[in-house]
Amino acid sequence: MEQSSTAFNIQKSEKKKYERLLSVDIVRGIAIFGVLFIHPMIFGTWYTETLALEIVPIYVIAIFAPIILMGTWGGGFPLISAVVNTYNIYHRLEIGYSYKEAAKPVIINSTFILLISPIKNLLFSRTWTNSYQEGMNYSILSRLMEEGELAWPGPEKIFQIGSLPSIAISGYITVLILWILFKNEGRNKVKRNAIILTIIGIFLTFISNPLNELLNPIIIDLFLKGGISRFFAFILRWFFGAQLSYFPVGIYGFFGIVAGIFLSVRAPLKKIKRYGYGLGLFYLAAFIISLIITTNKALAQGKNPIFVILDYEVYPRELLFFSLGCMLILLVFMVKRYEYIPQELKVKRAKKSLFFRRFGVATLTFYVLEPIFNNSFALLFHTIFGPREGFGIQDPFMTNFWAILLYVFTFESFWILFSYFWSKTGYKYGVEYWIIRISNRFRETKSTRLQLFDYQQNKEPILENAKEK
């Protein structure tokens, strides 16, 4: 009996070395690098999208339209997380872990992410205008920096949620959905699972905006009532009414689960192309139809269609359809280029993509630190090239091309150097570092999240600096 158990453990150890997804590491890095560029560029320079659209000439907006649109792709993070969570759960089950153990890391990480979100908002997030009441929406840090006052944020600050709750909720739903689908050898029913998940995903994307329009007024009423009603409003806000609520950006996770299943079973590339291209073109067609309807409606009301679409509180269906369509097509490209290739070529492309993968290893820490450093740089440049007039008010820096260029060069240089030197320490003491230190005590599968893989065949994953192995 002991011999049999030992053999099983050896087999588990050998199979545990299933390969990490290079495409995901790269996409994560590109995504957070985009956040580190677009957030300070728009919110650091012009404070709000409304002010940016008023100041920046239309031809400049047209030139940078692709970057601006990609800045609205908040659903990419739940999609990527769903791919990884599904891929990891599937392979842990293949190794021999119970579903409870296979899913435990996802539940733990999602819980940490959900708890970190309001803490980040209260302490570090950037200033914004209130949605429900008059006045400004300061975090402790932004009020201290901008007003010189140390004060507790107003109640609306935690309602200014980012993408973290959607990522966390998507993690919980991934665990629940896979638990249902994988019962009774359901893990092997790839086609059935893909069809079910796709139908659910499409249905939710099309009812997302009507649900937001229906429930957002209820959330506002609950907030204004105060007391315990405000707590319920906050929970509902995770799902509805904000730019990055679960409906609609978290729904992207359903399509990420399908991609994770395809990659787990090493589905034929032809099938992945058919799925990604077909569904991607479907959503792009839906985007064009929705864009025509919205444009005609806006013009009939004497409004600028660009403002109607890009200056929003609730994520508009046009951006939902466009971003989801593009992401599904890009997913095929990334899989084809980085997963379905010879191992030797993968090693070469892993080395060439090291710049972005350095950012992708610790995306949560970069996301938490972003407003701290970028707000500091923005305040400095508004003051030097000002005078600074206050949040939401135009000042000379906003129209000073060379000052803005220097600002961009400064914060980009900072983040590039930061990621390079931090990677040499093994990403010590970041948010992921502490999550791993705590969560590893409660899980059998130890995390390799903070490792830069070299993707060489039959080798253990390694850190960029050998000393941290």
160 — pLDDT class (breaks 50, 70, 90): confident
* DSSP H helices in 22-124: 22-39, 45-46, 49-55, 58-63, 65-70, 76-95, 99-123
What per-residue confidence (pLDDT) applies to 304? 77
Tens of pLDDT, residues 234-269: 999 999 988 889 998 999 999 999 999 999 999 999
7 — pLDDT class (breaks 50, 70, 90): very low
Give the residue from 287, 275, 261 showing the smallest Cα distance to 72: 287
Tens of pLDDT, residues 356-373: 999 998 999 999 999 999
What per-residue confidence (pLDDT) applies to 164? 92
What per-residue confidence (pLDDT) applies to 311? 67
Give Cα 115 distance to the centre of its chain: 16
Q: To the nearest whole percent, how much of the chain has pLDDT over 90?
A: 56
The residue ranking higher by pLDDT, 460 or 101, is 101
Q: Is 37 helix (H, G, I), strand (E, B) or coil?
A: helix
* β partners of residue 128: 137
Q: Give the mean model confidence (pLDDT) for residues 153-159.
A: 86
- 339-370 burial, b if ≥16 CB within 10 A, otherwise e? beeeeeebbebbeebbebbbbbbbbbbbbbbb
Average pLDDT, the chain: 87
**Distance (Å, rounded) from C-alpha 94 to C-alpha 260?**
14
pTM of the predicted model as reported, rounded to 2 decimal places: 0.87
Give the residue from 435, 404, 416 showing the smallest Cα distance to 42: 404
| pLDDT above 90: residue 195 | yes
**Distance (Å, rounded) from C-alpha 419 to C-alpha 283?**
35
